[in-house]
A and B are shown apart, each in its own frame.
Chain A
Amino acid sequence: MPDETSTTGATIELENLTKRYPGSSAPAVDNVNMEIKAGEIVIFVGPSGCGKSTTLKMINRLIEPTGGRIRIGGEDVTDIDPVKLRRKVGYAIQSAGLFPHMTVAQNIGLVPRMIGWSSSRIRARVEELLDLVGLEPGEFRGRYPRQLSGGQQQRVGVARALAADPPVLLMDEPFGAVDPITRDHLQDELIRLQHELHKTIVFVTHDFDEAIKLGDRIAVLREHSHIAQFDTPEAILTNPADDFVSGFVGAGAALKRLNLTRVRDVEITDYPTVTVDDPLQSIFDRLRESGTNEILLLDRRGRPYKWLRRGDLMRARGSLARAGTLVHDTVTRDATLRDALEAVLTDNAGRVAVTGRRGEYTGVVDMETLMNSVHELLDADRLEAMEHQHELEEARTERTHAEQEGGEEEAAR
């Protein structure tokens, strides 16, 4: 468990950041300006070769910028000793980059050892971090990287990056080399971690779905790391700045929007239910008074079991054993609206039961609710994006105004 002394995020400011590789005429990164708030996850997405990695690696000066400034937590780090800087900035890369000749514990303990922690403190920290990334310390501490699966290596890589509790974490396609299912797990894990740690994370990917899932904000980059759009996933999905961004968002933006909202955020309605222990007559009565065509049958533990239609009951002839259709799919309150839609479409009832932690019935979401919610969401997003744009424009005119005035003063002098 991270204790209350754990460091939370710091702001990152990039100012006119530029990188020109020797021998190439065009800059790989051209004049990037960006402000990243403390504690947020910012995702860089863009086509291959657009300069994502170069921009990221300039933040910890693995690549020295040829122009511009970098500020972390307000401190200008452009000219400080890069080795000192990097010990304060966690760094995780694709396929983990674990040192094969060191055990898991040694890999994680590297940075703490470099900054002079005592060995007992390092040992405790290693345990804590392995716990945090979901690996059992007793089992994994002494293993070598080659004795781990790709996903486990990646977890250790994240643990190593977090070892000295840096306020900032840089991740360059960390989940790029694992299979889709493991990647999904690792993403969930990162979200959970971030809920506890509140680091400032800059994360590079070229998978837009990953960006939507993880990002508080997404920076869509085009060639030379020019920022095509830097905004929340919602805003980018509903209001892409230009054709380049919409091309990157890809088809089905409205469907992707469903991934951003949870069942808990929409109206969960009540539905008439009966349990398997109820006598047949009372089930009839309940159905009649509910005014619906269908009723949900719960099992003895209160879990959704079958959908019963009027006709089913007629044909039941005294026993419920073979009447009705089994409930195929349920969702929890944490499921995304996309999962819910999927369930509604596959279950022929036109609605899906929402369950609590132990699988017990808590309500239903139906097609109509989903449609209305999506419309509302999209409308709200559009409105917000418009307001946002308006604000930006206002800020811009103000700035040019100020600049003009400044220029006049200058001229007067």
Chain B
Amino acid sequence: MDFWDYLGTQHQQLLTDAYQHASAVFQCMVVATLIGVLIGVVTYRSGWAGNLATTATSTILTVPSLAMIGLLIPVVGLGVPPTVISLTLYGLLPIVRNAIVGLRGVDPALVDAARGIGMSRTMRLLRVELPLAWPPILTGIRVSTQMLMGIAAIAAYASGPGLGNEIFRGIASLGSRNALNQVLAGTLGIIVLALLFDAAYVLLGRLTISRGIRA
């Protein structure tokens, strides 16, 4: 059976897997963004706290994803929980780092001006600092998403959802008729999803980055 025939017969299953893959990545990205920006906002003004946050999140990234999931299974069980937790943790690093860099990069004269015209701490953050730091944060989100697309495939190891199932089935039955087709379909599916997400981020950038600071 060639690859196209395989797609033809299996497209139902593939679409379901792709949808679940995308949905898992998307939801984890939302959580990672919220937590990551929050960590950035809390730590960027202190030298050591910011460095600690960056170091901690990059340490997470050095743990192999398979090991991370393996470690999580005894604690939270199989299925969705280990997937969501590991994806969220991995997604943090680029966002935290870019949030800190972005917030620290806001021209001090502008912060001075914001204070000078009577903006409160919160207002300064919401109206001036975050909007100006948003482009680098969005870049961080893009990088995170690309990364999570691949890592999410590993989640199938813990019976998680997504296109990883396709790949693992293929690997498990290497030598059988459809093994290669399964691995190929899973991998290509992930690439296509990653491209679609990227396109969505470009659109998001157009909609959310002020024309006054767009490159």
Residues in A lying within 8 Å of B, measured CB to CB: 60, 62, 83-87, 90-91, 93-95, 97-103, 110-111, 114, 144-146, 160-161, 170
Say yes or no: A114 contacts B109, CB within 8 Å. Answer: no
19 new A-B contacts at CB < 8 Å, known A83-B119, A99-B127, A100-B110: A62-B112, A83-B118, A84-B118, A86-B115, A86-B116, A86-B118, A91-B116, A91-B117, A93-B116, A97-B112, A99-B132, A100-B132, A100-B212, A101-B131, A101-B132, A101-B210, A110-B117, A110-B127, A144-B211
Q: Is B128 an interface residue (CB 8 A)?
A: yes
Q: Is the interface of A mostly helix, strand, loop or mixed?
A: mixed
Chain B binding surface SS class: helix
Complex contacts, A87 vs chain B, CB 8 Å: 117-118
In contact, A144 and B212 (Cβ under 8 angstroms): yes
Within 8 A of A (CB), among B113-144: 113-120, 123, 127-128, 131-132
Q: Tell me which residues across on chain B come within 8 A of A110, comparing CB atoms.
A: 117, 119, 127
Set B112, B117, B119: member contacting A161, Cβ < 8 A: B117
Contact A97 to B120, CB < 8 A, known contacts A144-B212, A146-B212: no
Q: How far is the CB of A77 from chain B (nearest CB, A)?
A: 13
One digit per residue, 1 when the CB lies within 8 angstroms of any chain A CB and 0 when it does not, for chain B 179-215 equals: 0000000000000000000000000000000111100
Q: 9 smallest A-B Cβ distances: which pairs?
A: A97-B113, A144-B212, A86-B118, A91-B116, A101-B210, A87-B118, A101-B212, A101-B213, A100-B212
- Chain B residues within 8 Å of A102, by CB: 210, 212
Is B113 a contact partner of A91 (Cβ separation < 8 A)?
yes
Task: Please indicate the chain B residues that have their CB under 8 angstroms from the CB of A95 in the complex.
Answer: 109
| Closest partner residue, chain A, to B114 (CB atom) | A99
List the B side residues contacting A62 at CB < 8 Å.
Answer: 112, 115-116
Shortest beta-carbon distance from A90 to chain B in Å = 8
Nearest chain B CB to A208 CB, angstrom units: 25
A207-B113 Cα distance, complex, nearest whole Å: 23
Q: Are A99 and B110 in contact (CB under 8 A)?
A: yes
Closest to B128 in A: A99
Contacts of B131 in A (CB 8 A): 101
A93 / chain B contacts, CB cutoff of 8 Å: 109, 112-113, 116
Tell me whether A97 and B118 are in contact (CB under 8 A).
no
User: What residues on A are CB-neighbors of B112 within 8 Å?
Assistant: 62, 93, 97
Q: Within B61-118, which residues are at the interface with A (CB < 8 Å)?
A: 109-110, 112-118
Can you report 30 A-B residue pairs in the complex whose CB atoms are below 8 A from each other?
A60-B116, A62-B115, A62-B116, A83-B119, A83-B120, A85-B118, A86-B115, A86-B118, A91-B117, A97-B109, A97-B113, A98-B113, A99-B113, A99-B127, A100-B110, A100-B132, A100-B210, A101-B131, A101-B212, A101-B213, A102-B210, A103-B212, A110-B117, A110-B127, A111-B118, A114-B119, A144-B210, A145-B212, A160-B117, A161-B117
